[in-house]
Amino acid sequence: MVELKGLPGAPGVAAGRVLLLQPGRMQLPKEISGTLSAEVEKLKKAREVYRDRLKKLHSFAKEQQEEENAAILSSYLEIADDAPFFEEVESLIRREKVSAAWALDQKCRYTVELFDKLPEEYMRQRAEDVDNVCRELICEMQGVKRLEHKVGDAGEDHIIFAEDLTPAETIRLDKKKLRGLVTQKGGPTSHTSILAKNLGIPAVVGLGEGFLKAKGKEPALIDGDTGTVILSPNSEQTRRFSEKILYNKERREQYLSAEKRPACTLDGRPISVCVNTGSEEDLRDFKPERCDGIGLYRTELLYLGRDAFPSDEEQYEAYKKVTEQAGGKPVTIRTLDVGGDKTAGYMHLPEEQNPFLGYRAIRISLDKKEVFLTQLRSILRASVHGKVQLMFPMIVTLEELLQAKELLSQAKEQLRERGEKYNEEMPVGIMVETPAAVLLCDRLSPHVDFFSIGTNDLIQYTTATDRMNERIQYLFDPFNISVLRSVSLVCEAAQRHGVPVSICGESASEPWLIPLWVGLGVSGLSVSPGLVGRTKTIISRLDTSEMQREAQHIVTSFGELDRVKKQLRQLCESLGF
Ligand code: PEP
Ligand code: MG
């Protein structure tokens, strides 16, 4: 038995066998085991199998309208089809008399190094793709299962252990038998955590070195609430986990029934519970009757994994579709939030020392005005199909907000000239996700219809902690008292100006924090689709005045994180969750 500690990625517990997606590079034999022709043949065969698989996955992604994934798969296919690249590998096998896997690995390293040195971000991204394709081909030749095939059969209940999961890998997971996810890298707001929450399965992330202890097919238990992983558990641990799994199953049924009712506190105060979305996959499972709308529609997914900015028409169709899917409920469309970790070659974003502090989000939109105007026009046109709200990300100054609104007026003017319809009254709000916006809330209030607090970035910027860096994740803590005080400041300023405040970062659905959000006066929470029921259930057990007293006590009395957590844990236990 081995017990490992990572970070909570997505709630719940799970049992299953380890399905190891090969971390890092394998030790590859240089010597050949048969003839040189057999090695060359091995490479050809692996390419054939791999290309077939990619084609199948590509059509599957197209069928499911997963455009982003389809684009990634086409670029993988292009690499797998690159004849000169593989001819060079073949001549390396024959010239050096080495194994096919070893030769491919050498060629891959050489190419990746070459691409990595190039100034264009696009080429460096391409290096990652070449590396992925080669690693998958090597796994194919070595008979190592790197990824389960979505179209195929993943066999028994399993927990995926991966270094990290890319969107291209995500598509191939056989979700029917997938019980949980564990990653070596990443933190609670990484792609894997968000994916697991959307799927409603537990995840432990940022396991670090401990990850290497896991062996393929070994029985494992994971607890996504505490970030615990147990490998080869003893019978007592298995029994305890089985009980917890059963308990969670019952609770899930309770949450499912809570989803059907609007969220309301014990004293009758309604709190809207919306969902965060962006990918086609999330939208396929979106059920407007189970939530109060879309609180955050991340438009950047429309812009990533492609070769050029999406056109006016393409964007309009996407925004119209999501608006219609919301069935008359509000849809908060956030303007482009790229930069940081989200980039595409065609955007020609500069290489930066500190990308999260650099050229990103509204800064890019205000700089590339035509790109911004195109997006604003598309959103405005979609606004006639339902209740669209517009939201600007990463605001740090009043000037930025005023400039963005000025461009919105220009976009309206352009539509009027073209005789196109739009909703003149479309509400406009901002993400409060920087300490600057928190401190400026009272000045920003007169110019917005709503605030939405992005705790993912707010924690990152308040605590000066990179949200993707697992070495310092202990500082990326949603309970950090400075962050809680920031939310309190925003709520106070907004209330004075009659501006509603919601929260759309991952902390919105953190069970121990929901009582605090209610006490501080937020009017809405926007959460991963899989957490709507749990969030509504917790809200229904809270009394507003009692939570107000608790919230005031917490934000004014404590300095230590442990005391904040203890107080909130005791409060939640007394409320029965
Ligand atoms: C946030 O920062 O909390 C947020 C919701 O935005 P994103 O995670 O897309 O940066
Ligand atoms: Mg953000």
What per-residue confidence (pLDDT) applies to 146?
57
Q: Is 504 in the pocket of ligand 1 (CB under 6 A)?
A: yes
The residues with which 527 forms a beta bridge, in sequence order, are 275
Which atom of ligand 1 lies nearest, measured to the CA of 340?
A: 10
The DSSP output letter for 541 is T
Query: Mean pLDDT across the stretch 540-554?
Result: 96
How far is residue 51's CA from residue 318's CA, in Å, rounded to a whole number?
30
For 207-236, the pLDDT digits (tens) are: 988 888 888 889 999 999 999 999 999 988
Q: Is 467 in the pocket of ligand 1 (CB under 6 A)?
A: no
How far is residue 135's CA from residue 73's CA, in Å, rounded to a whole number?
15
The Å distance, Cα 432 to ligand 2 centre, comes to 9
Helix crossing, 561-574 with 544-557: angle to 10°? 160
* Higher per-residue confidence, 519 vs 184: 519
Nearest ligand to the CA of 334 is 1
Q: Is 188 in the pocket of ligand 1 (CB under 6 A)?
A: no
Which atom of ligand 1 lies nearest, measured to the CA of 455?
A: 3
Q: Cβ distance 549 to 517 under 8 Å?
A: no
Sign of CA pseudo-dihedral 398, 399, 403, 409:
positive
* Higher per-residue confidence, 558 vs 492: 492
What per-residue confidence (pLDDT) applies to 150?
36
Q: Which contacts of 46-53 are long-range, i.e. CB under 8 A and separated by 24 or more positions?
A: 46/100, 46/137, 46/140, 46/141, 47/80, 47/86, 47/137, 49/140, 50/80, 50/133, 50/136, 50/137, 50/140, 51/77, 51/80, 51/81, 53/149
Q: Which of 134, 291, 441, 504 is catalytic?
A: 504
What per-residue confidence (pLDDT) applies to 152?
35
Note residues around ion ligand 2 (Cβ under 5 angstroms).
433, 454, 457
29 phi/psi in degrees, rounded to 5: -70, 135
Q: Is 300 in the pocket of ligand 1 (CB under 6 A)?
A: no
Nearest ligand to the CA of 342 is 1
Per the annotation, the verdict on 553 as an active-site residue is: no
The Å distance, Cα 394 to ligand 2 centre, comes to 7
The residues with which 14 forms a beta bridge, in sequence order, are 222
First-residue to last-residue Cα distance in the chain: 30
Query: In this structure, which residue's CA is closest to atom 6 in ligand 1?
Result: 454
What per-residue confidence (pLDDT) applies to 210?
85
Tokens representing residue 95 in the block = 């010239």
Q: Is 298 in the pocket of ligand 1 (CB under 6 A)?
A: yes
Which atom of ligand 1 lies nearest, measured to the CA of 453?
A: 3
Helical spans, DSSP H, in 388-467: 398-418, 435-439, 441-444, 455-462
**Residue 349 — pLDDT band, cuts 50, 70, 90?**
confident
For 134-181, the pLDDT digits (tens) are: 888 888 887 665 554 333 345 688 999 988 776 556 666 777 889 999
For 277-312, the pLDDT digits (tens) are: 987 777 877 899 999 999 999 999 899 878 899 999
Q: Is 457 in the pocket of ligand 1 (CB under 6 A)?
A: yes
How far is residue 380's CA from residue 290's CA, in Å, rounded to a whole number?
26
Tokens representing residue 509 in the block = 């659905």
418 CB contacts (<8 Å, ≥6 apart)? Answer: none
Q: What percent of the chain has pLDDT over 70?
A: 94
Average pLDDT value for the chain: 89
Q: Is 339 in the pocket of ligand 1 (CB under 6 A)?
A: no
Q: Is 466 in the pocket of ligand 1 (CB under 6 A)?
A: no
Query: Would the pTM of this model clear 0.85, i.e. be above it?
Result: no
Per the annotation, the verdict on 504 as an active-site residue is: yes
**Residue 188 — pLDDT band, cuts 50, 70, 90?**
confident
Nearest ligand to the CA of 189 is 1
Q: Which of 149, 191, 447, 497 is catalytic?
A: 191
How far is residue 65's CA from residue 171's CA, in Å, rounded to a whole number?
12
For 482-531, the pLDDT digits (tens) are: 999 999 999 999 999 999 999 999 999 999 999 999 999 999 999 998 89
